[in-house]
Structure 1
Amino acid sequence: MPTRIIEGTPPRLAPDLIARFAAIPVPIVVDLLEGRTLVDPAIRPLRRVAGGGALLGTAVTALCPPQDYGAVHHAIAAAGAGDVVVIDAGGRGDVAMIGDLLSTAARRKGVAGLVVDGAIRDTGTLAGWSDFQAFTRHVTPRGPASKDGGVVNGPVTIGGAPVRPGDLILGDDDGVVVIPREAAAGLIDQARARAEAEIGWERQIAAGESTLALFGVPAAVREPGA
């Protein structure tokens, strides 16, 4: 069956709204969403994100059947600047769904990066790009066997987290979180307030304040030793 492309995906979120999430650490979003859309932390960045900018952009999804990467080609063709190509390969590590050639094509279009619940290859090249973030579960040198299947811009599941086209993807050194597109506008002010609060807490700790008092930790029960 040829690759299917689902049309009628929602419009991208406003660029200024997306940009406001660039300064928000993943753990803050995960806490605010109570972990519901946390991607399995086994999906890791190829290189340290710190100092190079978080992975941030709207999802273009590719659902790949075993050993077939046709949907990845079509997802890159459909993606625009600032998007993140999200590849659901079922967590399989037997073949790479993408390497340097397809990633180069995506990068030239301004795609922000990849999240792959599966495998990638050519990691030495991809890890050297400061403007393109790649998160993956596995690495293997073996390539796919076919390119005529899969689905583009349908709902997928990445590391246990549901992803729909148009959802916001945020990734840093702690992992990846999916921000449902309808929740983004209501979440950003909460996230920024939490980030500012954490800066204040860091200052108080640096000044010597106990975390017991700072966070209102209940008193422990003291018991006599043996």
Structure 2
Amino acid sequence: MALNPTTRAQLMKVSTATLCTALFKRGLRNQFLQDVHPLRAGRANMVGEAFTLRYIPAREDLNPISVFQNPDHPQRKAVEDCPPGAVLVIDSRKDARAASAGSILASRLMQRGVAGLVTDGGFRDTPDIAALDMPAYHHRPSAPTNLTLHQAIDINVPIGCGDVAVFPGDVVVGDSEGVIVIPAHLADEIAAEATEMTAFEDFVTEKVMEGRTIIGLYPPTNPQALTDFAAWRQAHGR
């Protein structure tokens, strides 16, 4: 089932921190990818359904550079099959000694309308990927070709990325801090709750900057805080 456009729009405006809290309320503690960072911070959120690619350790006799001549090579096929609006998530076993992809493949994904690119390994050509009009996240730059250490083996199967289980169709959100994975069946309610949480946190931030104590305000244990929040929402159209 395609991602609800309302849900996508809501997730574009909330932080991964807020989403972590909403998921934690449901007992999900390990949805934020570890050691995965944006190539370029300060851009709009990345939001899309996960389309996955899995690498295993390369076996030299099966992974010469000639494998790229095969049109069905899993890495190449993933780039061409990842749906527009989806996020290509690559399981590189947290090994950034060789690149998960480079600028040409990333450029092709961008031109095809893919929403973003994520790996728990590294990218090569990172200045060029960072300049693309598509968010990308990795551990660190890595110049060697993926073939030296990684063998692309599976497309659109459950993977691990940054110590998080990622299933095809899960909703992936990235911001300037990192990437979080929302189980597909929770996406709509998490997006709605995070939108409400963001409104309240914006109100709290404004009041704290005015000099107000957080006691009774955050969390709103003082009833006056909720009264003030209701008035704030009306005044701000939130």
CA shift at 1:216, angstroms? 5.6
CA shift at 1:217, angstroms? 10
- Higher helix proportion: 2
Aligned to 1:18: 8
Aligned to 1:121: 124
Q: Deviations over 1:55-93 (max 9, x none)?
A: 111110000122469433222211122111000010112
Q: Deviations over 1:195-222 (max 9, x none)?
A: 000011012112210123422699xxxx
Distance 1:177 1:117 in 2: 13
CA shift at 1:17, angstroms? 2.1
Structure 1 gap segments, 5+ residues each? 1-10, 219-226
Distance 1:149 1:157 in 2: 14
Aligned to 1:76: 79
Distance 2:206 2:151 in 1: 55
CA shift at 1:148, angstroms? 7.0
Aligned to 1:224: none
Partner amino acid for 2:57?
Answer: P
Q: 1:179 to 1:128 in 2, by over 3 A?
A: same
TM-score normalised over the length of structure 2 = 0.80
CA shift at 1:187, angstroms? 1.4
Counting only pairs closer than 5 Å after superposition, residues 1-226 of structure 1 correspond to structure 2 as 11-34=1-24, 35-40=29-34, 42-48=35-41, 50=42, 52-67=43-58, 70-129=73-132, 131-145=133-147, 149-215=152-218
DSSP-derived class of the 1:18 partner: helix
DSSP-derived class of the 1:60 partner: strand
Partner amino acid for 1:191?
Answer: A
Partner amino acid for 1:61?
Answer: T
- Asked whether the equivalents of residues 72 and 87 of structure 1 are also in contact (C-alpha less than 8 Å), the reply is no
- Asked whether the equivalents of residues 72 and 97 of structure 1 are also in contact (C-alpha less than 8 Å), the reply is no
Q: Deviations over 1:2-38 (max 9, x none)?
A: xxxxxxxxx3222332222100111000011113311
Aligned to 1:223: none
Please report the RMSD computed on the Cα atoms of aligned residues, expressed in angstroms: 2.1
Distance 1:72 1:134 in 2: 17
Distance 2:220 2:189 in 1: 29
Aligned to 1:8: none
How many equivalent residue pairs? 204
Distance 2:179 2:219 in 1: 29
Q: 1:141 to 1:200 in 2, by over 3 A?
A: same
Distance 2:163 2:180 in 1: 11
TM-score normalised over the length of structure 1 = 0.84
Structure 2 gap segments, 5+ residues each? 222-238
Q: 1:216 to 1:114 in 2, by over 3 A?
A: closer
Distance 1:173 1:204 in 2: 25
